Every structure is written in C-alpha cells, then in structure tokens.
Amino acid sequence: MHLSKLMPPVAATLALFQFSAQAQTEPLLSPLEVTVTGGHSLARTTQTPGQVVTITRAQIEASGAQSLVEALRASGAVQISQNTTGNANDGVVSMRGFGENAGQNVLILVDGRPLNNPTLEAPALSMVSLNQVERIEVLHGSAGTLFGQRAVGGVINILTKPVADRRQGKVTLSRGSREYTRVQGRLSDRYQSGFGYALNLERESTDGYRDNSATEYDHARIDLSYRHQQGEITYSHESINNNQRLPGSLSRSQVDMDRQQSITPSDRFDEQLSVDAISFAQQLDQHLRLDTQLSQRESDGKGYLYGDYSQDMRVRSFTPRLDGRWSHNGGMLNLTAGLDLTDSDYLSQSSLGTTDSSQTTRAVYLRASYPLSDKWALTLGGRHSQVKDSAQGTGSDQTQSAFVKEIGIDWTPTAGHHLFLRRDENLRFATIDENGWTLPGIDALDPQQGVSWEAGWDYTGAEGRLAVTLYQLELDDEILYDPALMANINLDSSRRRGLTLSAQRQLTPALRIGGSYAYTDSELTSGSFTGNQVPYVAEHRFSLFGNYRINAAWNLYSDLQYTGERYLAGDDANTEPKLDADVVVNASLRWNQGPWQAQLSVNNLLDEAYHAYAGYSSWSGAYYYPAAQRNLLLSLGYTF
C-alpha cells in the first residue's frame, strides 16, 4: 500500500484526537490496562514477568464491537484473520509471528476453560457471546508453565460476567446493514441465602456481505451459583445453534469481477453446541485458595463441502488449582500448583472417509514468585505434560511427554517503573488430524518445543502509560504442513523476533488516546524453505484509538487498524506477490440517559476493499475471501 493511501484514514483518526474537551466526566478505561496473568496466578503485576493487556467491558461497549472478533481487532492487541467459513464473527488469532498454524499456537480460554480443539479446527470465537463477556485478558508470549500446550505465541482468557449481587437486567435490540438483526437479554440476581442466577439469551441473523453467507445464531446460557463466606460453587449450561452458509473463496479475476459473489452456492455448516461446567472456589485459610473446574463441551455438526459431511466432538476437562500468598521480604510470595486433565473424542465422516480418534492429555505444574526484596522478584516454574492419541479401528496408540521450565525476574526501581526479563519454554503436541497426514513411516509427529526470551519495560503515571517489549522465540520440531512434501512435518528449527510498543495518554479529563505497534520477523530456519518468511505474517502492524467523552450522555470512539503487506498463506516459497497492506477505521457514537442506551457503529468507515483471508495452493493458485466493506449498526438498550 502506498503512503498516499494510508494518509486519509490516519488523518481521520488524528482529527478525532484533536477535539477540545470540556466535559469533566471520568475517563474511559483503555485496552492497554495491565492485569495479572489471565486469572491463573495471584501474583501482582510487578511480580508477573511479561505484558498482559486487558480489554475492559467499558472499552468493549465504547468501541461498538458486536462480536469477540471485533473486540479483539479493535484493541490492536493481536492480529486476526477470518477463517474460511466467511463468517465475519469468527476468525483465527495470531500472536508472535504464526501464520496458517496460528490456531494451534495461541491458547484461547473461557473462564479458564480451553476453547481449543484436538483437531486443526481453530477455536470457534463466534461461540462466545460478547453480551456475556466481562473482560478479555491477552498475555503476549510463551506461557508454557502456567498454561501448558498451545500457549506458544500467547494466551487469551475471556472472562464472563459473574452472577450479580443484586437484581440486574438488560434488553438490547440491534438492526444493521444487510438485514442484520439481533436481540439480546440478560437477567441476574442473588438472594440473601447466597443463591444466585444469571440468564443470557441471544438471537442473531444476517444475510451476510457475500452471496451464500447468511447466518443464524441462537445462544442461551444459565448460571446457578451458591456463595458462602469462604467460597462459591457455580453450575453453568449453555446451548448454541449456529447455522451458516459458506461463500467459499474466489480467484483474483473473480474478485475483480464481483467481490461479493459466491461460486459455492450449496456449501453450508450447521452446528449444535452445548457446554456444561461446574466451578468451585474455596478460601482454605488466610493464605490458600482452591479453584476447581469440571467441564464438558459437545458439538454435533453437519454440512456440505464438496459433498455431505459430519463431525462430532466431545471435550472433557478437569482443572484443579491451588494458589497461595504469604508476605515476605517486603513483597508477596506467590505459589501456584495445579493439574490439567483433558479427554477428547472426535468423529468425522465424509466422502473422503471416516476418522474416529481420541486424545488424552495430563499435566502437573508448579510456579512460584519469590520476592527478593521490595523491588526485586524472582519467578520459577515447571510443567510436565503427557499426551496419548488413539485411532479407533487401527489399534494405533501413541504416548508422548514433555517438560518445560520458566525463570523470570522483575525489578521495580521507582514507583511507576517496571522492568522484567524472562525465559519461558513452551510445547505443543500434534492434533489428531495432523498425525493422520504424515510422511510414510511416521506414525506420530514429535512434540513441538521452544524457548522464548523476553525483556520489557513499562511506565505507568497519572496521565498515561508507555510499554516496550523485545522478544525472541526459537522452536524445535515446529509442527506445520509442508506443501512441497504434501504432508505434516516436524521442522528442525524456526525463529521469531520482534518488538512491541504501546502507549496511551489522558490528554484532558474527557479525551484519551493511545496506540500500539508490533514489528515481527518470522523466519523458517530449516526444511524445504530455509531462509523464507513465514507466510501470512505481517512484518509491521499498528493501531490507534481515541475516546472522547462529549458530555455525561454522549461518547465518541474511533480506532484505526493497519496490517502491513504479507505473503499469501501457503506461499512458503515466497514467490507469489504479497497481499497488500490494509487500513480499517471504525467509529462508534454512544448515548446513555438513565436506563436507556443507544449506539450507532460504523465498521470499515472508509470502505476499504480488503481480504479477510487469502492464500495460495499449487493446484488452484491464489485465492481470496473478501471482507465486508462499510456497514452500519444501530442498537437500543434498556437496563432495569
């Protein structure tokens, strides 16, 4: 993209930042707020090596985001590519320089429960209703000790709203471009006995931006809670029906002819998903706290893609964790120990055959943050993980194990300043379908293991915050698909290096601005494409946001997302023309008056014609999934 094309959206966003502010209301929280590591550790921020970004509920509402994908994209914290379903509410999160295999190298959690699958299918972000999200925590970088496999590029923990302490309710109606309609409702209350409940209902439908891209989505969730003096037990059940048409990809000439067309008018996918979870939190004494969750996720899907197909999946998990805190040397000694147990079953049937497999993982971990003084803290940790894959009908069982370690140090020289240095090891076991498509003579791929080095500094003052992080991630036996060999392989070595910058400032009591920049150098250092860049990873990416409180009732928000040029997904040879950089600007005007709320949101304000996903294959050439251009949404809500 030429600089001249970049200037209009930059100017549009900067113009927003230059408004004079007169309102004296409380400033909006920004998406760069720092918190603890995804709810898994009780260590305070200065004893947590690494950077964690929090996307607050206030930020989500101000941005006008209508889905989890939009909320993550607006934050600028991660790179997102929409997946090949064409569903604008779904996508794949990439962190620290991963391309096609990003979905297997970023761990997604919902209240600590993994959303990742035992297959190559990326976590279904569209299954999470943004209406019930309280905040989103994004941990950048490797986190193998605390979170285990797939926590390679980073971890995203989505925290849902708790049961309210008093009766609360809200109803929201939304209407937007392309026949988009949504109805949302929430009711929650807690009684003096300690019992409480929360009920969330949502229905959404749209014709979609492209032909054959209509979706229908229904979501219901109920939480039942009992809170006592030393803890709480909660049972939740949610049921989701997600029916979507699949518009498919287009060639370059087809995009030029009509970017909204579809050449796959019969493709579709219908899924029914249910999740049951029981969580138990108990304060054992003044130092120790026990958190346990038992959950089961079941999905049944069927559709048409080159023929009829179906896929059924069941994932069960048990994750007890013990946290302890003791005062020591002017700081807090934090100890975290736990088990992660997961069983997965997967069955798929199509004209290509039947896959009936299971995967079981077991892990135990221990992590301690030890205060050396009131300014220095040392973090040490380790995790042992084991996986067992079983392929029904073949009698093939494979068991593998790995051990990863962590060491980090924090220094807080003066109030507001925080510096850290950490070395973290990470791991990833192959998915069920990756082991099903290997080179002759290889029954199972070796575990992928890596080492991440990170160093960072951040400053937090009364008017803003500035943070910088440098990192290097080196992987051994990286698991990926090699198009030259037409098989999944273990790559001997690969490397990612980069820099992230983030800043925000409260210019006036009503105006807050901020932004982030990420430089990523991802390189294949072995295999058929040694020396080449990892496809579909942008070397440069930055974001800007501005929030202006006009008065007590009105709020204006805008964000700009720039993603630099990159090679097409699958172009490991780096021979095809790069995908152009894109700039997307969004804006939202919000009004609050008593129990009433209204919001007008405009996505892709400048009508950028960009691609949600683009790739290359040797047999079909370059292919594209065009993203939606300018679209509007009007919402009206009532709180009671």
pLDDT at position 182, please?
96
At residue 252, φ and ψ (nearest 5 deg) are -60, -45
CA angle 420, 424, 426 (to 5 degrees): 150
What is the model's pLDDT at position 393?
53
CB contact at 8 A, 432 and 445:
no
Around 193, how many Cα atoms within 13 Å sit in the side-chain half-sphere?
5
Minimum mean pLDDT range among 48-62, 177-191, 312-326, 624-638: 48-62
Residues 24-49: tens digit of each pLDDT = 333 333 333 333 333 444 334 335 56
Q: What are phi and psi of 7, to 5 degrees?
A: -65, -40
CA gyration radius, the chain = 24
Q: What are phi and psi of 396, to 5 degrees?
A: -90, 115
Residues 37 and 143: their CA atoms lie apart, in Å, by 9
Helix ranges (H only) for 351-446 are: 432-435
Percent of the chain with pLDDT over 90: 72
Tokens 């047999």 label which residue?
Answer: 619
Say if residues 86 and 213 touch (Cβ distance below 8 Å).
yes
> Which run of H or E residues covers position 68?
helix 68-75
How confident is the model at residue 435, as a pLDDT? Answer: 86
Looking at every residue in the chain, the average pLDDT score rounds to 88
Query: What letter represents residue 587's amino acid?
Result: A
Quick one: pLDDT at residue 371? 94
pLDDT digits (tens, 9 = 90+) for 444-495: 899 999 999 999 999 999 889 999 999 999 999 999 888 878 899 998 889 9
pLDDT per position as a tens digit, 69-88: 888 887 777 888 765 555 55
- Exposed/middle/buried for 253, CB within 10 Å: 0-12, 13-18, 19+? exposed
Sort 382 into a burial class: Cβ within 10 Å, 0-12 / 13-18 / 19+: middle
CB count within 10 Å of CB 19 equals 15
Asked whether 386 and 404 are in contact (CB, 8 A), the reply is no
Number of H helices, E strands in the chain: 6, 32
Q: Is the pLDDT of residue 15 over 70?
A: no
pLDDT of 188 higher than 70:
yes
Report the pLDDT value the prediction gives residue 48, as an integer from 0 to 100.
Answer: 57
pLDDT score for 39: 42
Residue range 149-170: mean pLDDT, rounded: 94
Instruction: In whole angstroms, give the CA distance from residue 281 to residue 321.
Output: 10
pLDDT for 190-248, tens place per residue?
A: 999 999 999 999 999 999 999 999 999 999 999 999 999 899 999 999 999 999 999 99
| The two structure tokens encoding residue 443 | 């029954």
For residue 621, the 8-state DSSP code is E
Q: Which tops the pLDDT comparison, 163 or 433?
A: 163
pTM tops 0.85: yes
Q: What are phi and psi of 17, to 5 degrees?
A: -65, -20
The whole-angstrom separation of Cα 117 and Cα 314 is 9
134's tokens: 């309280």
Q: State the pLDDT at residue 37.
A: 39
Given this model, what pLDDT does residue 409 score?
Answer: 94
Q: Alpha-carbon distance 71 to 75, whole Å?
A: 6
Is the model's pLDDT at 89 over the cut of 80? no
Tally Cβ neighbours within 10 Å of residue 509. Answer: 14
Decide if pLDDT at 1 tops 80: no
pLDDT at 81: 76
Give 3's contacts (C-beta < 8 A, 6+ positions apart). none
What is 539-562 written as a DSSP string?
SEEEEEEEEEE-SSSEEEEEEEEE
Q: What pLDDT, on a 0 to 100 scale, did the predictor assign at position 84?
A: 55
Q: Which amino acid would we find at residue 361?
A: T
Pick from 66, 168, 103: which is nearest to 634 by CA? 66
In whole angstroms, what is the distance from residue 123 CA to residue 125 CA? 6
Reply yes or no on whether the pLDDT at 9 is more than 60: no
Of residues 437 and 297, the one with the higher pLDDT is 297
Mean pLDDT across 401-405: 97
Q: Is 567 left (phi over 0), alpha (psi -120 to 50) or beta?
A: beta
What is the average pLDDT across 333-352? 94
The more confident residue out of 175 and 398 is 175
At residue 407, does pLDDT exceed 90?
yes
Residue 392 pLDDT class (50, 70, 90 cuts) = low
Structure tokens at 309: 């197909």
What confidence tens digit (pLDDT) does each residue in 528-571 have? Answer: 889 999 999 999 999 999 999 999 999 999 999 999 999 999 99
Domain boundaries, the chain: 3-209+217-267+275-639
At the topology level, CATH places domain 3-209+217-267+275-639 in: Maltoporin; Chain A (2.40.170)
Structure confidence by residue, pLDDT tens digits, 344-387? 999 999 988 888 999 999 999 999 999 999 999 999 999 999 99
Q: Using CA atoms, how far apart are residues 84 and 591, in angstroms rounded to an integer? A: 36
Predicted local confidence at residue 391, as pLDDT: 77
| pLDDT higher than threshold 70 for residue 8 | no
Cα 345 to Cα 92: distance, rounded to the nearest angstrom: 23
> What's the pLDDT at 38?
37
Supply the pLDDT for residue 521.
Answer: 95
pLDDT single digits (tens) 570-602: 999 999 999 999 999 999 999 999 999 999 999
